[in-house]
Structure 1
């Protein structure tokens, strides 16, 4: 039995040209476990990544599906890019920060009309791309295609809905089945979910996370070791599910996952990590955003008229080169949904 590969030299020569050096170094210790045959197939898939990615983006911008084979290739390439980024992505200002989208494709296009389209604008999306809305497939695939096309200009972090369990209940799984006639697209997208970062830091001073804080995480660096399918509890679950509240210390969350945390917890975490602001999503804000705790934390909500019934406006947060903040508020797109969900979510739509 051969020893596991420990350097790029141990990886078959035919495969070295297919992937980035960083990707190969990460893969190195596992290359012989994976097997050369599977890696060769992956290499062929990588090289077959279509040169017409811009054409696919144009189709998706028109809310048109791309082929199942194109989805497969897109997801494979996205996983390679995301693997290099790790759990906490460091990004530079200026950047525009966005909250939940939830499959509201035409409202995502309205967001781009307000904030500028990628790559003209540098974006951070804080998760919950799918479920609830009628166009989760088109929404997520467009954002993923933009990530592959402009990896340095768009950052995608994981929300609590980027989960196998949640998407099987709240619409994304059923939508994939209905639009592609099977579960392959759902499965490939879920594999991408596992590679999404859990947070992002802008200029070392603004922390972006989907949900909130955890009693088991005192520094941002501790989040780097977390990477897996979202568990029912623990620090990874807390980052995706927790909410700020007007309490002292920690409290039980009515969501059944994560925690409530108060201004004392927020300010201590910000102090420990030299942060000016914590930006998060996860909670409906009727006015588009909500600042709390002496402006140390903000909820950014980017799905106007949430679930096509809530009547709220949405917002994006623009940070300039000096981290100056400007909130841009927008309403639902004039064009409405032209489809129906595969089935209505069976539970509370504020989950």
Structure 2
């Protein structure tokens, strides 16, 4: 899908011109991360720049497997939800790419006021530093969800509905899970009763929308629950909850040490053994 730019705008780099591509991305990143961006939001990117980030983002994401295999050291980050200044502070405290390697676990849009800046900066870093910067899909990277919870309205207000559809094409291309050093399983939501092999995740086709049930849905939607055994009903009305016994069996089966996930606010008093959110 293509976004139409305005006449007189600088054109995006030609295919195959790597030097111009990096310079173009560096200019976008500089505008999104500079002092002016922190003082004056929103940051205005042209339709052509958005289209370029989406097009190159899809190509970069689709070149990766659905299940990423990563190496430490790497910083793992949870939900951003359009809180762009928090994202900038995260890089300020944690280090700027590519000096530090990052894995984001999804939910970049909705709720916050600056979802467009958030996803654009993440895509720009992903395209610019593909081996140092990784982004997984969250349950809000789904058209049926972000149509309701704010991202669609932000896109329509600042650009148009076609912009939103273009970003949804990017979301449909994102990897689903990651394994760090063969020991840490990372995904946005949690486990699935259908998950018996990592090959199942690798075989999830992309691009794809998120179905209402099944393995992909569970990986993005399920939640750990300390008060139950086995699988339980999820109050969200989607997917399941899973008990400590399910976590233990999963870790033993795949020889993992822990699960790193996002999807919920982390409360210090809530005990979720070997599940880190």
8 Å CA contact 1:86, 1:224 repeated in 2 = yes
Q: Does 1:132 align with 2:111?
A: yes
Q: How does 1:86-97 map to 2 (within 5 A)?
A: 86-97=65-76
| Pick aligned residue for 2:90 from 99, 103, 111 | 111
Q: Distance in 2 between matches of 1:265 and 1:45?
A: 50
**Which whole-Å deviations, capped at 9, do the CAs of 1:34-67 have from their partners, x for residues lacking one?**
xxxxxxxxxx974587442100011122251221
Give 1:218 deviation, angstroms. 1.9
What is the CA-CA distance between 1:220 and the residue it aligns to?
Answer: 2.3
The yes-or-no answer on 1:209 pairing with 2:181 is no
Based on CA coordinates, which of the two structures has the bigger radius of gyration? 1
Question: Equivalent residue for 2:214?
Answer: 234
- Specify whether residues 45 and 259 from structure 1 end up closer, same or farther in structure 2 by C-alpha distance, changes over 3 A only: farther
Aligned-pair RMSD on alpha carbons?
Answer: 1.7
> Does residue 144 of the first structure (1) align with residue 123 of the second (2)?
yes
Please give the alpha-carbon distance, in whole angstroms, between the structure 1 residues aligned to 2:180 and 2:118: 24
CA distance, structure 1, for counterparts of residue 184 and residue 30 of structure 2: 32
- 1:83–1:136 CA distance, 2 compared to 1 (3 A): same
Offset from partner CA, 1:5-49 (integer Å, 9 cap, x none): xxxxxxxxxxxxxxxxxxxxxxxxxxxxxxxxxxxxxxx974587
The answer (yes or no) to whether the contact 1:290–1:298 under 8 Å persists in 2 is no
State the alpha-carbon separation in 2 of the partners of residues 292 and 255 from structure 1.
Answer: 18
Query: What is the TM-score when the length of structure 2 is the normalising length?
Result: 0.87
SS at match of 2:260: strand
Matched, 1:75 2:47: no
Structure 2 equivalent of residue 158 of structure 1:
137
- Structure 2 counterpart of 1:323: none
Give the unaligned 5+ runs of structure 2: 1-12
Structure 1 CA distance for aligned equivalents of residues 15 and 186 of structure 2:
31
Structure 1 counterpart SS, 2:93: helix
Asked whether the 8 Å contact 1:245–1:261 carries over to 2, the reply is: yes
TM-score by length of 1: 0.69
2:236 is equivalent to residue 264 of structure 1 = no
SS in 1 for 2:137: coil
Asked if 2 retains the 8 angstrom alpha-carbon contact of 1:219 and 1:269, the reply is: no
Which string of whole-angstrom CA distances, capped at 9 and with x for unpartnered residues, describes residues 257-312 of structure 1? 1110001111111111111110000001245x96622xx2111xxxxxxxxxxxxx
Classify the secondary structure of the residue corresponding to 1:166: helix
Residues 170-212 of structure 1: per-residue CA shift (max 9 Å, x gap):
00011011111x1222111110111111101111111110000
Q: Does 1:280 align with 2:261?
A: yes
How many residues get paired?
252
Equivalent runs, 1:153-232 vs 2, <5 Å? 153-180=132-159, 182-227=160-205, 228-232=208-212
What residue number does 1:35 align with? none
